[in-house]
Chains A and B, each alone.
Chain A
Amino acid sequence: MNAPFTGQPLIRAEDIAHLTGRARFVDDIRPEGCLHAVIARSPFAHARLLGVNTASVEGLPGVVGVITAADFAELPAEIPIRLAPLAGFETFLQRPMAADRVRFVGEAVAVIVATSRFAAEDAAERLEVAYEPLDPVVTYDAARAGASLLFPAAGTNIATRYTAGMGDADAAFARADLVIERHMTAHRHTALPLETRGLIAHQEADGILRCWGSTKVTQWNRRALAVMLGRPEHSMDLIEVDVGGGFGAKGEFYPEDFLIPFAALRFGAPVKWIEDRREHLLTTNHSREMEATVAMAFARDGTMLGVRARISADMGAYVRTNGGVVPAKAAQFVAGPYRIRDIALEVEALLTNKTPVGTLRGPGRYEAHFFRERLIDLAAGQLGLDPAEIRRRNLLRPTDMPWSIGKLVPYEPASSIDSSDVPAAFDAALDALGYDALRDEVRKPRPDGRLHGIGLACFVESSGAGPSETARVELREDGGLRLISGVSTQGQGHKTVLAQVAGDVFGGAVPMDAIELRNGTASLIEGGFGTYHSRAVVVGGSAIHLAGQTLRAKLLRAAAARLQLRAEDLTLREGGLWREGGTQPIASMAELHAWMREAGEAPDATETFRPEGRTYTCGAHAAHVAVDTETGQVEVLRYVATEDVGKAINPLLIHGQAIGAAVQGIGATFLDELVYDADGQLLTGSLADYLVATATCFPNIETITLENAPSTLNPLGAKGAGEGGVVACAAAIANAIADALKPLGVEINHLPLGPDRLLRLIPETPA
């Protein structure tokens, strides 16, 4: 393949290892003498922890030791907030293990370390723990009422409350011809990567405490661990190995990220912990559970005048590393990609006796877009407007850019949408679906009796968070490139994409297969912030671009000096170093490396990229569904998702991201749900009960990647491309089902949309 590599649908360099079983996931690592940890967990949602009788398991076959909270009571082991600190949160942080009170089913009460996983589980079954049950707080109302408190000293279960806004919502609503207001809910679900969490910790002979696993933010996690263990950062390293998916939940700092290193130090041996699926459903961050009362004000012609939202998020039992991202982002994105200037928001984060929440692909956006897009369809119905038309009249236009979205998030500065062409993205979705023809088609009776409907939804999505990324690019002695980056990888394909970015800086002088990526390990390079908010390529890629440019200039300068030519007359492209206008290369990249050596110059460069703001993508989803009104089952006949990613560095990978995200989002809308009973017991603790979309569930998804609005905020023009596919799924599917069921007068305000819920909404007809 020839440069430019950017824009080419290159297959993933990582695939060969993954497809031939040569990838190395954390559980593939088997250090000699490795001990195995199993975590004893609370069966109660809320209880006083009266005592853990470690003697009940000490001495059992294979048991090496037991750790309880008392063993590290003096360490400052509170897990800090990484993102979205909101006033009041500091009171509700989690320690790695319960000391005197358990606050959710699954909270750690002891770590049992044994010579095998089997022995550890046998012992865990026999561990005696004394509890005194307390009233569990499971609902929004119970949390607000505060009759039972998770943190009595705090005096409240309300972790935070704030208001935000821009413009003058009161005036906008006063002027409105139509106000639509609904109480709506989004449901608790989780990320469910194929590979669960897992960790191996070992203090090796050199005195360095090393942890292998999935840590999307290795440098931050190492910093946190250093504080918690009370030892210097440089005496430890977090090493990221191959990762089987993360989706926002995996790789955050969890209790086990302290407990397993602590156990390794305590017992002086490598300790491995692999989360099982039940633990995963019980303890890895949940997300998305919130209730909202949202109102939109419209003029008679469909113009959107303003939006008000009161959002209450169920945070679970503690505030974890992701702080208030979920509710804050739901509030921020409630206005969507429309020309709405008057916004009033009230946000509340509530503690309940459930698993704590964190981010999940498109945190807050999936929920916010659902709330708003439902209201838009209701308004269209009342105003007699086509759902496409009412949206088109209000979408942001390219001439509106940059569009201020104000300061709607307390812990962030004001923000603006950098660039967009939403109407083009919307039209692309409508065209692909054949909207105009389908509009009439769906109302015709079908031979199988099912009702058909179309659902539309538009979205805006932010990506590319700062503060910065640092990258180093090195020319190898064989003429290849080594890229060193502080972003980590959970399966997205960075090795391929970042190589494309770097390769183009050198004009194709280095072939793709001679570019290696080293990333994900804390000690590799200072100034890495990791992988979240679709930032690895946008920010990390830009840093590589800058470092590559610096190295390229350095190489040309050195070559010019040696050849006694002007650097401007030299260039790099396929084959190596060329003189401008020359007919053959002057030197190979390997020779250039040798020249640098001779000249005593380091053939590398390090640069930091600091984005001035976030990048925003926009797009639209369009769904065509058929509803069986006798069973409540829905078939997604077609699903189209468009997203303008600014610059598609690898369209094939973006396609994979978009399809995967759409399956995840549509699946979540129909299937994924974490259900708790009134006692705070999780009822969906296995994959027989927690249902997730499989490859055969939603086969008819088409995605379209657009490049009409390159970002103005980074040298690549790139924007995030990993989350747009998920954020409008609930909105488009709910609108499509509501459209199908319109003849029956059905409205959809609550998720998920399983057959039982739908059938309750559908009036019964005789069999």
Chain B
Amino acid sequence: MKAPPFAYAAPSTIAEALALLAAHEDAKVLAGGQSLMPALNLRLAAPSVLVDINGIAELSEVSLTPTELRLGALVRHKRIGTDAAIAGAVPLLGLACPHIAHGPIRSRGTIGGSLSHADPAAEWPAVCLAADAVMEIRGPAGPRHVPAEAFSLGVFTTALRPGELLAAIRFPVARGRAGFAEVARRHGDFAMVGAAVTVELGPDGRCADARVVLFGASDRPIRRRAAEERLRGQAPGAALLREAASLAAEGLDPPSDLHASAEYRRRVAPVMVRRALADALSLPEARLAA
């Protein structure tokens, strides 16, 4: 389990990084290395050049305005989970972070790396979708912005084009409540299936808006619009959450793997949605099976 030979470059600006990516067609960006290095050592990947972006200071920046949180692609999982201002602005980030791997991996792994890697069971892509985030991409053709839903395209597949770099992720500061639930074999393992939800309550106490996202249930995180629709305009209650949860599971065609069959995921997906909603809306009775 030793990596095949590769060249190594450590640019200090985004422009240099883009030049390197342009010059070497099969170059790979190295961020936290927590997915890439195992792939190299298992010889599942053999890029000719690693472009280490850890020296590009601006990629680690965090900025917060009253309406927007902007996380540089290199911001580590650990910072996201421990910086109260970040979780204050987008609570889903704080709720999801403890479920990602273990301390040492969270200290190195980056949000941009997780999004670019695009594991269908990863937390950040689902959180970005539920929190309505937008990806800030830099590439040879200039910068562009891609909403989360158009960014995750499938297993290990994103909208990033050759030579492009994910530079930052922009989140609208949350106005509502959030809930997060997942099942994993052990704490810190990738989820078998999970749900990330956001709900905005109107002045009348009814759901003004909701986003319901499942992950680990498809080849990418997916919004469950029928469930969102069911919630909209309704007063939250256990029965409503059950209905929304059932709708969220309709039409699912989840994958099977060693740890969970498709049947398992189909059965547990609505449970995760119900529990995430119950937590978001502080309705503990809705956590229980009917």
- A and B associate in one complex: yes
Q: Footprint of B on A, CB under 8 Å?
A: 117-118, 121-122, 125, 276-278, 447-449, 629-633, 671, 675, 683-684, 686, 688-689, 691, 693-694, 696-697, 754-756, 759-760, 764-767
Residues of B within 8 A of A767 (CB): 242, 245-246, 249, 270-271, 274, 290
Confirm or deny: B161 has a beta carbon within 8 angstroms of a beta carbon on chain A: no
Confirm or deny: B175 has a beta carbon within 8 angstroms of a beta carbon on chain A: no
Cβ-neighbour of A633 out of B42, B183, B287, B290 (below 8 A) = B183
Confirm or deny: B63 has a beta carbon within 8 angstroms of a beta carbon on chain A: no
**Is B290 touching A671 in the complex (CB atoms < 8 A)?**
no
**Is B2 touching A691 in the complex (CB atoms < 8 A)?**
no
Stretch at the interface among B53-61, B122-130, B201-209, B261-269: B261-269
Residues of A within 8 A of B192 (CB): 755
**Is B258 touching A689 in the complex (CB atoms < 8 A)?**
yes
With both beta carbons as reference points, the residue of chain B lying nearest to A683 in the complex is identified as B258
With both beta carbons as reference points, the residue of chain A lying nearest to B288 in the complex is identified as A449
Residues of B within 8 A of A760 (CB): 263-264
Confirm or deny: B251 has a beta carbon within 8 angstroms of a beta carbon on chain A: no
Which residues of B178-201 have CB atoms within 8 Å of chain A's CB atoms? 183, 185-187, 189, 192
Confirm or deny: B260 has a beta carbon within 8 angstroms of a beta carbon on chain A: yes
Complex alpha-carbon distance, A638 and B31, angstroms: 41
**CB contact under 8 A between A759 and B264, given known A684-B258, A691-B189:** yes
Confirm or deny: B7 has a beta carbon within 8 angstroms of a beta carbon on chain A: no
Residues of B within 8 A of A756 (CB): 259-261, 264
**Is B187 touching A696 in the complex (CB atoms < 8 A)?**
yes
Q: How far apart are B125's CB and chain A's nearest CB, in angstroms?
A: 18
Q: How far apart are A207's CB and chain B's nearest CB, in angstroms?
A: 33
**Is B42 touching A122 in the complex (CB atoms < 8 A)?**
no
Confirm or deny: B1 has a beta carbon within 8 angstroms of a beta carbon on chain A: yes
**Is A630 touching B289 in the complex (CB atoms < 8 A)?**
yes
Q: How far apart are B214's CB and chain A's nearest CB, in angstroms?
A: 13
**CB contact under 8 A between A755 and B185, given known A630-B268, A764-B267, A767-B270:** yes
10 contacting pairs across A/B (C-beta < 8 A): A121-B2, A122-B4, A630-B289, A631-B183, A671-B186, A691-B189, A754-B185, A755-B185, A756-B260, A760-B264
**Is B289 touching A631 in the complex (CB atoms < 8 A)?**
no
With both beta carbons as reference points, the residue of chain A lying nearest to B241 in the complex is identified as A767
Residues of B within 8 A of A759 (CB): 264, 267-268
Cβ-neighbour of A630 out of B242, B263, B271 (below 8 A) = B271
**CB contact under 8 A between A765 and B186, given known A631-B268, A689-B258:** no
Residues of A within 8 A of B274 (CB): 767
Residues of A within 8 A of B1 (CB): 121, 276-278
Confirm or deny: B145 has a beta carbon within 8 angstroms of a beta carbon on chain A: no
Complex alpha-carbon distance, A689 and B268, angstroms: 21
Q: How far apart are B169's CB and chain A's nearest CB, in angstroms?
A: 26
**CB contact under 8 A between A755 and B287, given known A278-B1, A767-B246:** no
Q: How far apart are A31's CB and chain B's nearest CB, in angstroms?
A: 20
Q: Footprint of A on B, CB under 8 Å?
A: 1-5, 38, 42-43, 183, 185-187, 189, 192, 242, 245-246, 249, 258-261, 263-264, 267-268, 270-271, 274, 284, 287-290
Residues of B within 8 A of A694 (CB): 186
Complex alpha-carbon distance, A712 and B2, angstroms: 53
**CB contact under 8 A between A448 and B287, given known A117-B2, A767-B246:** yes
Q: How far apart are B180's CB and chain A's nearest CB, in angstroms?
A: 15
With both beta carbons as reference points, the residue of chain B lying nearest to A632 in the complex is identified as B264
Q: Which of A121, A633, A767 has the most CB of B within 10 A?
A: A767
**Is A631 touching B271 in the complex (CB atoms < 8 A)?**
yes
**Is B5 touching A686 in the complex (CB atoms < 8 A)?**
no
Q: How far apart are B195's CB and chain A's nearest CB, in angstroms?
A: 12
**CB contact under 8 A between A671 and B287, given known A117-B2, A756-B261, A767-B274:** no
**Is A765 touching B264 in the complex (CB atoms < 8 A)?**
no
**CB contact under 8 A between A766 and B290, given known A125-B43, A632-B264, A756-B260:** yes
Cβ-neighbour of B42 out of A278, A629, A691, A765 (below 8 A) = A278
Residues of A within 8 A of B183 (CB): 631, 633, 755
Complex alpha-carbon distance, A121 and B3, angstroms: 9
**CB contact under 8 A between A765 and B2, given known A630-B268, A684-B258, A689-B258:** no
Complex alpha-carbon distance, A766 and B242, angstroms: 9
Residues of B within 8 A of A754 (CB): 185, 259
Q: How far apart are A470's CB and chain B's nearest CB, in angstroms?
A: 41
**Is B185 touching A691 in the complex (CB atoms < 8 A)?**
yes
Q: How far apart are B3's CB and chain A's nearest CB, in angstroms?
A: 8
Cβ-neighbour of A675 out of B242, B246, B258, B263 (below 8 A) = B258
Complex alpha-carbon distance, A447 and B192, angstroms: 25
Residues of A within 8 A of B284 (CB): 447
Residues of B within 8 A of A121 (CB): 1-2, 4, 43
Residues of A within 8 A of B289 (CB): 449, 629-630, 765
